């Protein structure tokens, strides 16, 4: 979304632009697949609140959206019941704004340490899940900035694009193609040589090596790709050292598709409006349905350090393990749930060479690195992507869009060499 947004802003300003994309599709960490009538998101799924720029684009693209809602359930001491603890957690995080102390890791934040163990665990789980972060690393200043940014866009309201999130980048790509902007898919950038006013990009395609030359380049590579040095820079810009100060968080997300909504129609289990399900003692600890959209799917989510729990599992093993957890949560026979399972769908963003993780977070002391990454390099290289967002919405689609527009605007106001 960062690259597409940058390309659109530049093209509309009359600048000639070419988009280079390693995958055979646009959208990057937005990745929708379809299974029969089911719309399955393997990457970004939710529109968090009302970021105006994102909603403008959704409206322009004429995409159908709906608001998530229903019953949020908590599994505690072997019992499923409606929960309201998230409000307490959000209230606790809101109070971070009043913190006048240094930028310390959240784990060292004195009010967290003072919480009773149960509530403390809830807050830690929330922060780790939502931010894909290690609470021993994520900084309290970034958390406070993020909390304020979320409050401003009412991000407790969550929406979905009915036909799948991928319709959004596809709309942008179609719009660009119609306008004559080349989008080179399956074009993996390996090396970027540059000096002020000139960039030479060396890429690999099925047809062999390709070279592109330009006056400016927007580098909308994910943080994980930059940190792995999967693309070589000559000379190495200082932005890479800044990138190393940020963190790429891991997530394990999978969707289980069942024959029926067994959680809605058993004698002992009747939760037809199930929305989110929090089960701190289960793995994954967070589940959801796309309710009120009808679906026979349940999605499991592990963000942060615990996301490695199912590493090396095949989809079948993952499905089996998840069914065992669901059997415990719903107190139903494991074989029954297993027999309901049609498919288990997941994407490993950590092993994906074109993402190197799920999304970024800002560790203690690293806020200046974000600002530095968003600063043009010799009026020639412009880093974009969710990790370079300066509005506090790291790890979201609207952050990516904004960063792309920001990079494009920086190019438009740069001194011209030709
Ligand atoms: C599991 C998961 C769930 C998420 N859920 C949400 C959500 O509910 N709501 C939300 O707002 N956000 C969510 N996010 C975050 C959101 O998806 C990202 O913040 C956003 O899509 C990032 O956009 P981007 O343009 O910065 O990066 P990307 O989308 O990663 O784009 C970077 C592009 O660079 C390409 N690339 C990489 N290497 C090369 C190379 N060498 N040469 C050429 N091209 C290359 C990639 O293929 C990719 O297309 C989620 C992310 C994940 C992984």
Distance 386 CA to ligand 1 centre (A): 8
For 346: left if phi > 0, alpha if psi spans -120 to 50, otherwise beta; the answer is beta
Distance 56 CA to ligand 1 centre (A): 20
355 lines ligand 1 (CB under 6 A): yes
The answer on 241 and 229 residing in a single domain is: yes
The answer on 144 and 287 residing in a single domain is: no
7 lines ligand 1 (CB under 6 A): no
The answer on 42 and 107 residing in a single domain is: no
* The last residue of a domain, from among 346, 380, 397: 346
Contact 356, 222 (CB under 8 A): yes
According to the model, what pLDDT value does residue 269 have?
A: 80
Q: Which domain holds residue 311?
A: 249-346
The answer on 119 and 142 residing in a single domain is: yes
Cα angle 372, 18, 44; round to 5: 65
* 69 in a structural domain: no
Distance 167 CA to ligand 1 centre (A): 15
CA atoms within 13 A on the CB side of 335: 0
* 299 in a structural domain: yes
Residue nearest to atom 4 of ligand 1 (CA): 44
Distance 122 CA to ligand 1 centre (A): 28
Residue whose tokens read 């229903």: 70
| CA distance linking residue 116 with residue 380, whole number of Å | 52
28 lines ligand 1 (CB under 6 A): yes
Contact 132, 303 (CB under 8 A): yes
The answer on 357 and 225 residing in a single domain is: yes
According to the model, what pLDDT value does residue 417 have?
A: 58
Distance 288 CA to ligand 1 centre (A): 21
Looking at the CA of residue 357, tell me the nearest atom of ligand 1.
53
According to the model, what pLDDT value does residue 215 have?
A: 97
165 lines ligand 1 (CB under 6 A): no
* 71 in a structural domain: no
- Provide the CATH number for the domain around residue 277: 3.90.660.10
The answer on 198 and 55 residing in a single domain is: yes
Chunked into runs of 10 residues, the chain (418 residues) has average pLDDT values of 98 98 98 97 98 98 97 90 77 93 98 94 93 98 96 94 98 98 98 98 96 98 98 98 98 97 85 93 95 97 95 93 96 95 97 98 98 98 98 97 98 80
Cα Rg for the chain, rounded, in angstroms? 22
The answer on 178 and 60 residing in a single domain is: yes
* 379 in a structural domain: yes
357 lines ligand 1 (CB under 6 A): no
The answer on 172 and 105 residing in a single domain is: no
Question: What's the pLDDT tens digit per position in 198-243?
Answer: 999 999 999 999 999 999 999 999 999 999 999 999 999 999 999 9
The answer on 200 and 122 residing in a single domain is: no
139 lines ligand 1 (CB under 6 A): no
Distance 29 CA to ligand 1 centre (A): 3
- Mutation test residue for ligand 1: of 22, 44, 129, 155, the one with most atoms within 8 Å of CB: 44
Q: Two tokens at 35?
A: 């299974």
397 lines ligand 1 (CB under 6 A): yes
* 134 in a structural domain: yes
Contact 331, 269 (CB under 8 A): yes
* 70 in a structural domain: no
The answer on 370 and 259 residing in a single domain is: no
Q: Two tokens at 313?
A: 């599992």
Distance 64 CA to ligand 1 centre (A): 22
* The last residue of a domain, from among 119, 154, 189: 154
- Mutation test residue for ligand 1: of 19, 29, 362, the one with most atoms within 8 Å of CB: 29
131 lines ligand 1 (CB under 6 A): no
Task: Provide the number of structural domains found in the chain.
Answer: 3
The answer on 368 and 302 residing in a single domain is: no
* 74 in a structural domain: no
Residue whose tokens read 């929960």: 83
- Provide the CATH number for the domain around residue 378: 3.50.50.60
Strand partners, 251: 303
The answer on 170 and 146 residing in a single domain is: no
* Helix count and strand count (H, E) for the chain: 14, 22
* The last residue of a domain, from among 154, 170, 200: 154
20 lines ligand 1 (CB under 6 A): yes
According to the model, what pLDDT value does residue 18 have?
A: 98
* 386 in a structural domain: yes
| CA distance linking residue 336 with residue 321, whole number of Å | 14
Q: What are phi and psi of 131, to 5 degrees?
A: -95, 0
């Amino acid at each position: 979304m960062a690259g597409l947004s940058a390309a659109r802003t530049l093209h509309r300003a009359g600048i000639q632009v070419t988009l280079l994309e390693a995958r055979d599709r646009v959208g990057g960490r937005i990745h929708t697949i379809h299974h029969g009538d089911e719309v399955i998101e393997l990457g970004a799924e939710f529109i968090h609140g009302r970021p105006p720029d994102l909603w403008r684009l959704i409206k322009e693209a004429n995409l159908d959206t709906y608001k998530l809602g229903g019953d949020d359930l908590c599994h505690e001491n072997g019992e499923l019941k409606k929960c309201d603890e998230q409000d307490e957690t959000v209230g606790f995080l809101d109070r971070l704004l009043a913190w006048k102390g240094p930028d310390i890791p959240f784990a060292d934040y004195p009010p967290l340490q003072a919480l009773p163990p149960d509530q403390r665990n809830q807050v830690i789980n929330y922060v780790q899940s939502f931010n894909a972060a290690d609470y021993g690393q994520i900084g309290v200043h970034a958390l406070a900035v993020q909390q304020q940014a979320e409050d401003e866009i009412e991000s407790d309201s969550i929406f979905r694009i009915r036909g799948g999130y991928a319709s959004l980048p596809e709309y942008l790509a179609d719009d660009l193609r119609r306008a004559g902007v080349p989008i080179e898919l399956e074009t993996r950038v390996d090396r970027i040589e540059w000096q002020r006013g000139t960039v030479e990009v060396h890429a690999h395609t099925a047809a062999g090596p390709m070279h592109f030359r330009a006056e400016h380049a927007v580098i909308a590579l994910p943080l994980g790709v930059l940190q792995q040095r999967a693309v070589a820079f000559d000379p190495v810009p200082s932005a890479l050292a800044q990138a190393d100060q940020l963190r790429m968080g891991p997530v394990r997300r999978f969707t289980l598709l069942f024959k029926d909504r067994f959680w809605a129609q058993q004698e002992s289990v009747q939760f037809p409006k199930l929305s989110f399900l929090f089960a701190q003692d289960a793995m994954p600890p967070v589940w959801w349905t796309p309710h009120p959209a009808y679906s026979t799917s349940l999605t499991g989510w592990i963000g942060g350090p615990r996301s490695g729990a199912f590493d090396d599992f095949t989809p079948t093993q993952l499905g089996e393990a998840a069914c065992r957890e669901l059997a415990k949560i719903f107190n139903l026979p494991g074989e029954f749930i297993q027999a309901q399972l049609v498919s288990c769908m997941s994407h490993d963003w950590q092993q994906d060479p074109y993402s190197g993780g799920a999304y970024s977070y800002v560790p203690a002391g690293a806020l200046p690195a974000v600002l530095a990454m968003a600063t043009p390099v010799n009026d020639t290289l412009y880093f974009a992507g969710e990790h370079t967002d300066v509005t506090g919405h790291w790890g979201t689609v609207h952050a990516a869009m904004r960063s792309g527009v920001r990079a494009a605007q920086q190019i438009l106001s740069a001194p011209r060499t030709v």
